[in-house]
Amino acid sequence: MTDRLPHEKGFHVSWDQIHRDARALAWRLDGLGPDGEAGEQGGGWRAVVAITRGGMAPAMIVARELDIRTVDTISVKSYDHQAQSEAHVLKSPDAKMMGDGTGILIIDDLVDSGKTLELVRALYPNAHFATVYAKPSGRQQVDTFVTEVSQDTWIFFPWDMAMQYVPPYRGQD
């Protein structure tokens, strides 16, 4: 619930908005890969790797936009609800495909403290790291992102929300 948040502000993202923002991310990434120019197959990238679970929806949209068919996942857990704990890898992507990360696009929904990306970057130092949203503390960990929000903002994604009744502004006491 919003009134129990440790953060001052809430940024509520709809499916439509994450779709638009993930598309904008794809367009920024087109041609940045080591193997290509903008408009070439896969935008120059060999594969997309989603950081589960939050990175899966943006990674699917980026892979679709850039026509990348090779998609894998890395599973990193760093939060229990809104409480941060030690980040650790639960499942790794295909080691042969990954190499040192060259030509691999690693996607997450957001970077907050940067701990998740720091862990993954240590494993694949030559990969390109992209998120849809970024907070200032983790911004250095991400190579490409779309929108920055303040550190005291909690981002609510559509997969964590549901439509519900809201009382009128001029309510009854």
Ligand X SMILES: O=P(O)(O)OC[C@H]1O[C@H](OP(=O)(O)OP(=O)(O)O)[C@H](O)[C@@H]1O
| Residue where the block lists tokens 């890898």 | 89
Task: Assess contact for 32 and 144: CB atoms under 8 A.
Answer: yes
Q: Choosing from 3, 21, 30, 109, which is the catalytic residue?
A: 109
Considering the complex, state which of residue 27 and residue 154 has its C-beta at the smaller distance from ligand HPA.
154
Considering the complex, state which of residue 46 and residue 121 has its C-beta at the smaller distance from ligand X.
121
- Compute, in degrees rounded to 10, the torsion defined by CA atoms 58, 22, 69, 104: -80
Q: Which option in Mg ion, ligand X, ligand HPA, none does residue 155 bind, with CB closer than 5 to 8 A by kind?
A: ligand HPA
Q: Is 43 near ligand X (CB under 6 A)?
A: no
Q: Is 23 near ligand X (CB under 6 A)?
A: no
143 catalytic, yes or no? no
Interface with Mg ion (CB under 5 A): 54
Q: Which residues are annotated as a binding site for guanine?
A: 112, 155
